[in-house]
Amino acid sequence: MILLALISAMIGSVIGAYVAPNYLYGRYIPYPQAPGIQGAPQRVEIVTRGEELTVIPAVAKKALPSVVGITTVTLERDIFSRTRRGQGVGTGVIVDSRGYILTNSHVVNDGRSEEVMVLFYDGENLKADVLWNDPMLDLAVLKVAAQNLPVADLGDSDKLTVGEIAVAIGNPLGLTFERTVTAGIISGLERSIPLTQFESIEGLIQTDASINPGNSGGPLLNAEGAVIGINTAKIQTGEGLGFAIPINTARPIVDEFIERGEFTKVYLGIRGINVQQYIQSYGDQLGTKQGVYVHQVTPETPVARAGMQDGDVIVKIAGQKIDTMGQLVRQMYKYRPGDSVKIEIIRDGEPVTLDVLLEAAPRSE
């Protein structure tokens, strides 16, 4: 009898101490309340509903529908002078719902591709036309016959700071790995990478997000999912060094295509080389170590009418310092036909300022 009582007591203590608080109270019987205390806390079970996204998955979810794969076919000649079809793969980003797509110039073989196809997020494949490209900027605008396409938000690359999140989307190593997402930070700004002895791409965004062949033309995004750059794998450097062309370089071009359906480039009317290149070939006799040496002024052009001469050195445009031909080309994309700019030159060692009225570039320019 005593043993039965002990066993019953033990079972009761287990129920009271463990089973009741965890399984009975709050479900089948109310919680006991201490004397004099009203509304003792109840056991609350929290159920999470909906999606919980961190920054990178949220950026990817927002941007992926506007990222496209690009395949190209180019006719090439082999060592036996036989024509063969070469194929290429890259990435692009939709910048207008009517079918305008931004990518790299080298993705479309600098406009020389025989065929350009665009693969969309929903699996549709459409032929594209190359409306514009510039190898020096390494940018191109394509157009497909489509409407109501998902569009990427364009950010402001002038507001970037080193250390902020950067997310790259592209097709590394071909469409087998289409729409791969990689992430890192903004590692540096205003980077200049030489391509040849006298040619470089300047003003680049540096990131440690992985950018490989096939990523070219895809977007570099900030934490809000806005495009801050166009990735380029044209520049092959060390591991952990990726580069993107700031979106603000492309924005004037994109905006004019969206507004007018075409882009009108302005021109100066010169043939020029970097001053550094001139110095290496002919010696230091220009009165400046940076700028663009004007080898030839074409008659009846904007700068000819403003009084520019062969042998002048362009050092500033609208107050913006010009050290190289690449900087001059990028600067000119900010202007439209009819704009007037002040161009500062060095002539015979002396500074001169010219007022230049810009005109639309001839088709051959």
- pLDDT per residue as tens digits for the range 246-299: 999 999 899 999 888 888 889 999 999 999 888 888 887 788 888 999 999 999
- In whole angstroms, what is the distance from residue 99 CA to residue 116 CA? 14
Burial class (CB in 10 A: 0-12, 13-18, 19+), 145: exposed
309-323 confidence digits (pLDDT tens):
999 999 999 999 998
Burial class (CB in 10 A: 0-12, 13-18, 19+), 220: buried
Is residue 323 annotated as part of the catalytic site, yes or no? no
- pLDDT higher than threshold 60 for residue 28: no
Residues 170 and 219 in one domain: yes
In a domain, 178, yes or no: yes
- In whole angstroms, what is the distance from residue 227 CA to residue 219 CA? 6
Residues 195 and 232 in one domain: yes
Amino acid at 240: G
Residues 245 and 277 in one domain: no
| C-alpha atoms less than 13 angstroms from C-alpha of 316 in its C-beta half-sphere | 12
- In whole angstroms, what is the distance from residue 194 CA to residue 354 CA? 31
Better-predicted residue by pLDDT, 342 or 22: 342
Instruction: Give CA torsion, residues 307, 310, 312, 313, to 10 deg.
Output: 120
In a domain, 152, yes or no: no
* Lowest-pLDDT range of 66-75, 85-94, 163-172, 174-183: 174-183
Residues 135 and 187 in one domain: no
Domain boundary among 81, 109, 144: 144
CATH number at residue 284: 2.30.42.10
In a domain, 150, yes or no: no
Q: Looking at residue 20, what DSSP letter applies?
A: I
Residues 215 and 253 in one domain: yes
The residue from 138, 157, 210, 323 that is catalytic is 138
- In whole angstroms, what is the distance from residue 214 CA to residue 104 CA? 11
In a domain, 15, yes or no: no
Tally of domains in the chain: 3
Q: Looking at residue 290, what DSSP letter applies?
A: S
Q: In the predicted model, what is the mean pLDDT of residues 100-114?
A: 93
Q: What is the pLDDT of residue 193?
A: 78
User: Do 16 and 32 contact (CB within 8 A), yes or no?
Assistant: no
* Lowest-pLDDT range of 40-49, 193-202, 356-365: 40-49
11-22 confidence digits (pLDDT tens):
555 445 544 455
- pLDDT higher than threshold 60 for residue 208: yes
In this prediction, residue 82 has a pLDDT band, given cuts at 50, 70 and 90, of confident
Is residue 81 annotated as part of the catalytic site, yes or no? no
127-148 confidence digits (pLDDT tens):
999 999 988 889 999 999 999 9
Q: What angle do CA 187, 192, 196 make, to 5 degrees?
A: 135
Is residue 134 annotated as part of the catalytic site, yes or no? no
Q: In terms of Cα–Cα distance, which of 183, 187, 190 is closest to 211?
A: 183
The per-residue pLDDT of the chain, averaged, comes to 83
CATH number at residue 73: 2.40.10.10
Residues 272 and 334 in one domain: yes
Q: Is the dihedral of CA 335, 337, 341, 346 positive or negative?
A: positive
In this prediction, residue 52 has a pLDDT band, given cuts at 50, 70 and 90, of very low
Contacts of 109-113 spanning 24+ positions with Cβ under 8 A? 109/72, 109/74, 110/135, 111/140, 112/74, 113/72, 113/73, 113/74, 113/88
Q: What is the pLDDT of residue 355?
A: 95
Cα–chain center distance at 313:
32
Partners of 313 in the beta sheet?
Answer: 293, 346
Residues 219 and 285 in one domain: no
- pLDDT higher than threshold 90 for residue 167: yes
User: Do 352 and 314 contact (CB within 8 A), yes or no?
Assistant: no
Amino acid at 106: H
- In whole angstroms, what is the distance from residue 114 CA to residue 311 CA? 40
- In whole angstroms, what is the distance from residue 93 CA to residue 141 CA? 10
Q: What is the pLDDT of residue 240?
A: 66
Residues 161 and 256 in one domain: yes
Provide the domain limits for residue 289. Answer: 266-360
Domain boundary among 260, 284, 309: 260
> Residue 257 — φ and ψ, nearest 5°?
-65, -45
Domain boundary among 260, 286, 309: 260
Percent above pLDDT 90 for the chain: 52
Task: Please give the model's pTM, rounded to 2 decimal places.
Answer: 0.75
Burial class (CB in 10 A: 0-12, 13-18, 19+), 281: exposed
In a domain, 149, yes or no: no
Residues 301 and 338 in one domain: yes
In a domain, 351, yes or no: yes
Residues 294 and 232 in one domain: no
In a domain, 29, yes or no: no
215-239 confidence digits (pLDDT tens):
889 999 999 999 999 998 756 555 6
Residues 234 and 202 in one domain: yes
- In whole angstroms, what is the distance from residue 175 CA to residue 252 CA? 30
- In whole angstroms, what is the distance from residue 273 CA to residue 275 CA? 6
In this prediction, residue 108 has a pLDDT band, given cuts at 50, 70 and 90, of very high
Q: In terms of Cα–Cα distance, which of 347, 172, 147 is closest to 242?
A: 172
In this prediction, residue 51 has a pLDDT band, given cuts at 50, 70 and 90, of very low
The residue from 66, 96, 105, 106 that is catalytic is 106
Residues 244 and 328 in one domain: no
Instruction: Give CA torsion, residues 318, 320, 324, 326, to 10 deg.
Output: -80
Q: What is the pLDDT of residue 201?
A: 78
In a domain, 87, yes or no: yes
